[in-house]
Every structure is written in C-alpha cells, then in structure tokens.
C-alpha cells in the first residue's frame, strides 16, 4: 500500500466533490487536488488514465493510502437529457427541500441537527448551491436558507467552495 498525502480527483462544480472537500477541511486533512473536467475533451472522467483510478468513471474519487473511494450523481442528469434537466432538477430539489424544511423544524439548532456540524450539513450546502444554479426559489425554505448562510461563514465551507478550486474557470472564481 502506498502511504502519503490523500489525492482528491475532483471537478470544481461537482456537489459530491464539494461534500468531500468540506469533510477534509473540517477534519484538517491536507490533500492534493487532481482536477478532472467533466466537460473538457468529452469528459476527462472517461479517459483511460482516470478509469485506472476509478472504473466507475465518476468524480469525486478520493485516494487514501492506496485505496480509492468514489461516489457521484452527475449520471442522473445525463439520463434525464439536456432539454429536461432544468425542470427535473427544480422538481427534485423542490420536493426534497419541502420535506427537509419540515424535518428541520424539529432537528435544527444552529445547523441541521443541533449545534454541531453533521453529515446533513455537508450535504445541505452543495444542494443549496445546486438549487441556486437551477434557479429554485428558496423563499419557501427559511430554515434551509438560514442554516446555509451560517455554514457558508465557516472556514471549511469557504475553502472548499467551488469558486475557490484549482480547476474553477476564471469567470467563476471568487
């Protein structure tokens, strides 16, 4: 087994990659980023080099001590088709946020579950960014909006933000 600095194969805008970046930042784990463009060259995740890292051909892939862990959800949007993506994403996010807003009424403190950052928070912030990207009206979700704003003030969420990644296009950088 190879022991060394973890390597995160990531795409700046991937919400799944963002969750991993937040977790690594919260834990104070130093890592190397290997950008994998999901657009350039027809999708670098399909290259032979990346398939050797992750046969699932998806980001993120996190290599720690010679072991690679992978996960993603971009394949769902591709199955929906370009012409249906906006409507599908808006409906999926709205449905999920309506349920979550209700749940948060009994679980939320400063964050989704009380006053400690949890896995729920790591999932919330990238999903709110997806909602904004797909033009979902967040007005009906005041608790989600409040928690998101609170989380975005934390350093781990700031340093892991898509606008601060090495592969972020110049026009989208903070």
Query: Residue 57 sits in a domain of what CATH number?
Result: 3.40.30.10
Domain shared by 84 and 151, yes or no: yes
Res. 83: pLDDT tops 50: yes
Domain shared by 89 and 152, yes or no: yes
Residue 2 lies in a domain: no
- Read off the DSSP letter of residue 170: G
The last residue of a domain, from among 74, 101, 132: 74
Domain shared by 83 and 150, yes or no: yes
For range 50-65, the mean pLDDT? 91
> What pLDDT does 74 receive?
62
Q: With contact defined as beta carbons under 8 Å apart, do 6 and 29 qualify?
A: yes
Res. 2: pLDDT tops 60: no
The last residue of a domain, from among 74, 91, 109: 74
> What pLDDT does 106 receive?
96
Q: Specify the length of the chain in residues.
A: 174
Domain shared by 13 and 39, yes or no: yes
Domain of 14 in residue numbering reads as: 7-74
> What pLDDT does 50 receive?
94
Domain shared by 49 and 13, yes or no: yes
Count of domains observed in the chain: 2
What distance, in Å, lies between the first and last C-alpha atoms of the chain?
38
Domain shared by 145 and 99, yes or no: yes
Decide which of 54 and 145 is more confident: 145
* Mean pLDDT of the chain, nearest integer: 92
Angstrom distance (rounded) from CA 111 to CA 133: 22
Domain shared by 86 and 114, yes or no: yes
Domain shared by 34 and 90, yes or no: no
Residue 1 lies in a domain: no
> What pLDDT does 3 receive?
65
Give the DSSP per-residue string, 123-169: HHHHHHHHHHHTT---TT-HHHHHHHHHHHTSHHHHHTSGGGSTTS-
Domain shared by 107 and 151, yes or no: yes
> What pLDDT does 1 receive?
42
Residue 103 lies in a domain: yes
Residue 173 lies in a domain: no
Residue 11 lies in a domain: yes
Task: Among 46-55, 66-75, 140-149, name the most confident range.
Answer: 140-149
Domain shared by 81 and 136, yes or no: yes
pLDDT above 70 as % of the chain: 96
For range 19-29, the mean pLDDT? 95
Domain shared by 24 and 94, yes or no: no
What's the number of CA atoms in the CB half-sphere (13 Å) around residue 48?
0
Res. 80: pLDDT tops 80: no
Residue 128 lies in a domain: yes
Structure tokens given for 2: 């190879």
Instruction: Write out the H or E segment, with its range, that includes residue 121.
Output: helix 119-133
Domain shared by 11 and 67, yes or no: yes
Query: How crowded is residue 32: how many other Cβ atoms within 10 Å of its Cβ?
Result: 12
- Which pLDDT band holds residue 142 (cuts at 50, 70, 90)? very high
């Amino acid at each position: 087994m190879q022991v060394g600095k973890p390597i995160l194969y990531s795409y700046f805008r991937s919400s799944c990659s963002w969750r991993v970046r937040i977790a690594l930042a919260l834990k104070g784990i130093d890592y190397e980023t290997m950008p994998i463009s999901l657009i350039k060259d027809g999708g670098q995740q399909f290259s032979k080099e990346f398939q050797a890292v992750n046969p699932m051909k998806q980001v993120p892939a996190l290599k720690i001590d010679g072991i690679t862990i992978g996960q993603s959800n971009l394949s769902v949007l591709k199955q929906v088709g370009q012409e249906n993506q906006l409507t599908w994403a808006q409906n999926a996010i709205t449905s999920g946020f309506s349920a979550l807003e209700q749940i948060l009424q009994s679980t939320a403190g400063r964050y989704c579950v009380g006053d400690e950052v949890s896995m729920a928070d790591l999932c919330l912030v990238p999903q709110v960014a997806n909602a904004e990207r797909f033009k979902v009206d967040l007005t009906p979700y005041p608790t989600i909006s409040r928690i998101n704003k609170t989380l975005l003030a934390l350093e781990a969420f700031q340093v892991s933000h898509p606008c601060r990644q090495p592969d972020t296009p110049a026009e989208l950088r903070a």
